[in-house]
Every structure is written in structure tokens, then in C-alpha cells.
A and B are shown apart, each in its own frame.
Chain A
Amino acid sequence: MNKSVLFGALTVAGLAAGAAAAATLDDVKARGTLNCGVTTGLVGFAAPDANGEWKGFDVAVCRAVAAAVLGDATAVEFVPTTGKTRFTALASGEIDMLARNTTWTFSRDVDLKFDFVGVNYYDGQGFMVPKALGVSSAKDLDGATVCIQTGTTTELNLADFFRANNISYEPVPIETNAEGTQQYLAGACDTYTTDASGLAATRATFENPGDHMLLPEIVSKEPLGPLVRHGDSEWGDIVRWTLNALIAAEELGVTSTNVGEMATSTNNPEVARLLGTEGTLGEMIGLDADWAKRAIETQGNYGEIFAQNIGEETPIGLARGLNAQWTDGGLLYSPPFR
């Protein structure tokens, strides 16, 4: 009996997996909520507030997709994932998309069978040192002790960087960012290295942030973006173009406050196509004409989301840097809506 139950479960699982792969959009619509994988908590990117409501830069992407697909930015079931469970959660169909500042790498895209639909934050690995150390460049760190999270790409990048510059270092392995912060403040290591956004956020929490500085070197490329499963390109398109809509909206000057007005009275044909007053873009993607308008209306454009969650006005205080529009010297570049 046990055997037949097991085989039955496997068969059903196989069929269901096949069905899920075919039409995520239909599943989401039937369910009425979007299952979106996020972190269990990362300052500025995703964390529930005192009322239990998820807020953050990655969370806004999930909500934008829900607004576009379901017409309701709150119809999101946030599934918190750790660095270890995130990929299995996506592969097994537990979540429809993953927005968990995940670095887009070759092997994750190709070997793990996921599709990265774009980049919502260009990050890179940096170094933080106490000003008292008197170091102004990462190349001066010869012989330094370095706090480093084990099992991450940062560990490999660090080894590459020091080998390429022919200098030595002593790693102090740590498990979490919290542990790294404590070790660094206690003086167990000369420098702490992780993604520059994480360093900035960590430094903001110090009692005397002014005593510490980020070194100018960025030793790796960490393009972070949302991803979906291989094999359902229609669903991948929806997530990709929702993200692009947020980016394009900033470029075109559409904000959450003026989107209604722009939709009715714009003279710019691209804005009209984006907001669904002209053309049939919504129909092509399998949604209604207002999909992008709803996403922008509820979440704001990319610049608004950035400023609200991680920008210079927030305690995290990240500058736009690489994440500025291409017209401002950054890397954000949405393909045209046409």
C-alpha cells in the first residue's frame, strides 16, 4: 500500500509539475495571489515592518508584478527563503518568482535552469575599513585579516582579487552579516567585505559611522535581479516587462502621482503605449491594457522605489551610482516599448 501511495504521489507530482511549467500565469490568476520568494530579512531590500507588512526594494518588484497581473498590489503571498532554500523553492513550484537580491551568474542561469529576467540592482563587492587603519585603497591591504561570509561568491571574488594583485590576506570565516558586523567592530578583522550595498547599510547602523569608510575598489560584478523558472517564457516576459516598465517610467518622467494624468493627456507616443492608451501591448503580453499603469501607480517608478527604500534620504543612504538611468551615466536601460 505504501508503495502505491508513493508512486501515486510521484505521478501526480510529475503531472502537476508539467502543468505548472506550462502556464504560471493561469495558475497565478486561478489562485488570486502571486507567490513571491523574498529574503527572510535584509535591510532596505525586504523586511516586514512593525505591522507585519513586507516593505523593501525587492518587495516592490513583487508587488508591481501582482498589480500588473492581478490588479491588486497586495495580492502577494511572500514566501521568505534563505540563501539555501531559495532555488529549490523556485524549482519545485512553491513560488512563482524569486526577488531575493540574487546575483545573475552563468551557472545559475544555465545549469540551475532559471531565467533571470533583468537586473534591478547593480551591486559589487567592496571593502569597509576603520579610518584609523590608514588605508586608502584595497591594494594596500597586504597581510590584512578579512572577515568574509563562507559559501558565497564574495569568498571566491576575494581570493581572485588578492591573487591578481599578488598580495596576501588572512580570512576570518563568518556565517551571517550580523556575526560579521560584530567581529569587525570587535577588531577581529582589519576589513570586512561583502556587497557594497550591504556594507553601506551595515555602516549606517554603527554608533559612529564616520569612523569607518568604504574603499573605492569594487572587486566584482553583482547584478541582482528577479528570476523565474525555465520553460515558461510567457510568464518570464511578464516579469521582465513589468520591471522594464518601472525603469522606462522613470526615464519617461512617469511617476506614481502623475500617471493618471499622463495616461489621458500625454503627447509622447511611447508613454501612451506604455500606459495602454495607444497600441495593444497589454494584449500581446496576455494582460489588459492598464497593466503597466497599475504597477507604476501602486509602486512608483524605479527612481521612486529606490529613493523610498534604499536611497540617500533613508538611513541606508545608497547613491544611485551604477543604478542611475543610462541618460545619467548609469546602467539602467530599458528596451523600447513598441
Chain B
Amino acid sequence: MSDTHAHSVAFVRMETIPQSAPPLAAAGPVRWGKDNLFATPANALLTIASLVVIYFILAATVPWILNGVWNAGSLSECREILQGTSGACFAVLTERWPQLLFGFQYPSEAYWRPTLAFVLMLVALAPVLFFDLPRKLLIITALFPFVAYWLIWGGTIWAPILALVGFIVGYLVYAKFVNRSFAVGFFGGIAAAFVVWALSGYIVPALTPEETLLSSVPSRDLGGYMLNMMLGVTCVSLSVPLGIVLALGRQSSMPLIKWVCVIFIEFIRGVPLITLLFVASVMLAFLFPPDQTVDLFIRVVIMITMFSSAYIAEVIRGGLAALPKGQYEAADSLGLDYAQAMRLIILPQALKISIPGIVNIAVGLFKDTTLVSVISMFDILGMIRGPILASTDWNGLYWELFLFACVVFFVVCYSISQYSQWLERRLATDHR
């Protein structure tokens, strides 16, 4: 071929031209910017306006953060170091770090205990959140509440052990009778557990030695972000099962159960959380003698759990309502009884539908735990607004402290929301 051309044409390129990059204006960032940022004059105007706003925000905050002072004893020392230049006084975080995390009354030599409990919590949560992990890990999850209680509150180890024994006995009774009837097994198990707990009320004081391995820490000494985490984790994990029970109860054909659930849900949803917290902290004190009040932490846990379980119940009811009637009928036609139908057919599907709603409430609940600062519990916000801002050293600092609170809450809430999105993708079995 090339020979024929050699006679008729003066020059023939023998090799292909190497590929060159597309013109600058037709590809790459320029093209992208032209398409997305400056497509029309109006778009261009908006882009420039946004860039200006972003510039001003960054110009004000970035030097302020980079110029921050991390080591100083007080606000006035910070100002001396800064010499009038703009800069954050992060020294308050350095100095009050343990107080922000654990509150101001938790014994400092015991800080490792809640820290260890936190690490264990991550381990215990893993098999619940990621069900590809070996199921045996759930044993750790089951033991975690008792270990965590012992680590955080300290005192005699027999209290959590006997509480655990109560659960085990309850489960054994349940397992023995559940074949005869679910109801007998269920209520028999609960009754057996209560018998054990009532007995252990007498045994524990007798077993308690003078000096316990871990020093006992009363509830009112808990504080800081630890308190938010404890309230959040406890209340979420308690209110999901309770919410399921309430949602099923509301759909029950037994009028008494149905109306109890309806009234409970509607009442709780009609009352602001802060009101319930005031009832927990103030009104209940009138009903009990001064020396025998229920622990404030437990009172608050009960109130927040009641509050969020009512909302979760409504979310799950939505999930139950979204299931086609055929699913219920299919379960019935297989001859499953109510408990089996719910456990094996209805709830797995209904809960999957409800995931976004439940996560929404869990995130809201976690943030609502800061409301306890109003009833003079020193959670992270209570620590900031009370002791830290009221110390003569740090009075007058606001941005740094509240920014810190924002960051720690954002980390947790964003993780929860990312997890739920992953879970939705993982559980997506329908054909979309």
C-alpha cells in the first residue's frame, strides 16, 4: 500500500499522530467549571457571590483557628499571648478537658474506667450493627451492660452479677415453657427474673466487702460528654424494644392493651420532653422520702426512654401499616401463631422499612440529652454553661466551648446517619 502512495503523493505520514489532550476549554476543570459554575450569566453571578461569602467566612475563621492558643491558664493570659490579634483561646479545652469529658466530680484516678467502658461499647455494638460478624460476639454484647455498669459506677461486683443471674434465670424459665405457650414462657421468665432480683436485694449488702475493688461513684458525680453518651446509648437501646412492643400493642385486638398503648403514646407525644424532665427531677422528689428517692440518673433515663419509645412506636406502626395485607395472611396460612408470625415474617420487613425513621429519632434523642443541663445535671452543655463559664478564669469565652460541643455531637450524629445509609443499602432486597 505504501509503495503506491509513494509515487503519487509528495508526503505521507507513516505513523499515527500521538493522542493529544483535548483543548483546555473542552475538558477538565475548565470545562467542568464552565458547565456547572458559569453556565449562564445568572449562574455565574451566583457562583461569584457564593465564593465571596465562602471567602469571607474562611478569612474570618481560619486565622482565628490557626492562631489559636492551646496553652494558657486563663482568658486574660490568652489575650496577653494574642496581643490583640484575632485568635481562638482553645486553652480552655486543654485545661478543662477531663471536665468536659467526665464532669467535674468524677474521681480523676478513675477516668480509665469510663474510657474502658467506651472502648468495650464499640466492641459490643459491632456485632449488633454489622451482622456479617460472627454471631458468637453477641455474648460480649449481652455481658456489656453489666460490665459497663460495674466500671462506671464501681462498688461491689455482686450487684451486676446478680442482675445478670436474674436475666439468665428468666431466660431459662422462658426456654423451658416457651414450647408450651409463648405467653407462659414470657411472663414466667419475667416473674422468675424478678424473684431473683428481689432475693439479691437481701444478698448483695451481705456480700459487699468494706473495700471494693473499684471505688463506688454516685450517680450525681457523673457528667460531661460521658453523661450524654450514657443517656443516649441507654435510652436508644431501651426505647427501640419498648417502641416495638407499643406499636404492636396499639395494633392489638385486645381493647385493654390497645387503649393503654394508645393513651400512653398520645399522652407522651403531647407533652414536651423538658416538662417530663422537670417532673423527673422536681416533682418525683415530693413523692418519695428524702433518703429513698430513685436515683436521678434512672429517673431521667426512664423519662427519656418513655418519650422516645412513643415516637419510635409511631414510626414502627408506619412500617407495619406499609406491609401488604398479604404478608399477614401468608403468615396465618402457614399456621404460625401470633408470636411466630411477628418474629419471622412481619417485624423483619416492618423494621426494615422503619430504619430511616428510627435513626432520625435516635439522632434527635441523642441531641436531646443536652436538655438535662436544665435540671442541673452536668452534661457537656451543663459543664460549659455552669462550672466552666462561671470560673473566674474562663468567664467570657463562648465560641471555643460551644464549637467543641458542636464538633463532638457532629461526629456521633454523622456516624449514626452514615451507618443507617449503609444499612439501608445492605438490606435492599427489592428490585429497584
Contact = CB atoms under 8 A, between A and B. Distances in A.
Contact of B395 (A48, A82, A205): A205
B290 A92 contact: yes
Contacts of B291: 16
Contacts of A166: none
B289 A47 contact: no
A314 interface: yes
Given A80-B376, A206-B396, A49 B386 contact: no
B76 interface: yes
Nearest to B218: A77
Contacts of A12: 288-289, 292
A75 interface: no
Nearest to B284: A92
Contacts of B386: 39-41, 47, 80
Contacts of B292: 12, 16
A41 B75 CA distance: 17
A80 B392 contact: no
A143 interface: no
Nearest to B75: A205
Contacts of B388: 41
Contacts of A42: 390
A80 B398 contact: no
Interface stretch (A174-182, A189-197, A211-219, A295-303): A174-182
Interface residues of A, number: 45
Contacts of B391: 41, 43, 47-50
B281 interface: yes
Interface string A37-56: 00111111011111010000
A50 B376 contact: no
Contacts of A135: none
Contact of B99 (A50, A182, A206): A50
A93 interface: yes
B286 A48 contact: no
A81 B385 CA distance: 13
A42 B108 CA distance: 24
Given A50-B96, A182-B398, A88 B382 contact: no
Given A52-B99, A85-B281, A207-B79, A41 B385 contact: yes
Secondary structure dominating the interface of B: helix
Given A13-B289, A181-B396, A205-B395, A48 B387 contact: yes
B311 interface: no
Nearest to A30: B291
B287 A9 contact: yes
Interface in A15-66: 15-17, 20, 39-44, 46-50, 52
Contacts of A206: 396
B307 interface: no
Contacts of A91: 286
Contact of A16 (B289, B374, B398): B289
B285 A176 contact: no
A202 B374 CA distance: 22
A316 interface: yes
A40 B290 CA distance: 21
A278 interface: no
Contact of B282 (A15, A88, A315): A88
B361 to A, nearest CB: 27
Nearest to A205: B396
B375 interface: yes
B121 to A, nearest CB: 25
Contacts of A20: 290
B104 interface: yes
A272 interface: no
A319 interface: no
B389 interface: yes
Nearest to A50: B95
Contacts of B396: 181, 202, 205-206
Given A41-B389, A82-B376, A85-B376, A52 B290 contact: no
A262 interface: no
A25 B104 CA distance: 29
A287 interface: no
A10 interface: yes
B174 interface: no
Contacts of A84: 278, 374
A331 interface: no
B105 interface: yes
A125 B385 CA distance: 23
Nearest to A49: B391
Contacts of B287: 9-10, 13
A42 B391 CA distance: 8
Nearest to A94: B285
A149 B351 CA distance: 46
Interface string A93-120: 1100000000000000000000000000
Interface string B105-124: 10010000000000000000
18 contacts: A16-B290, A16-B292, A40-B385, A40-B386, A40-B390, A41-B386, A43-B390, A47-B386, A50-B391, A84-B278, A85-B278, A88-B283, A88-B286, A92-B290, A205-B395, A315-B76, A315-B392, A316-B392
Given A13-B289, A82-B374, A314-B392, 16 more contacts: A12-B292, A13-B286, A13-B288, A16-B291, A41-B388, A47-B386, A50-B96, A50-B393, A52-B104, A80-B386, A82-B375, A82-B376, A92-B290, A178-B389, A182-B398, A201-B395
The 6 closest A-B pairs by CB, nearest first: A41-B390, A205-B396, A16-B289, A41-B386, A40-B386, A47-B390
Interface of A: 9-10, 12-13, 15-17, 20, 39-44, 46-50, 52, 79-82, 84-85, 88-89, 91-94, 176, 178, 181-182, 201-202, 204-207, 314-316
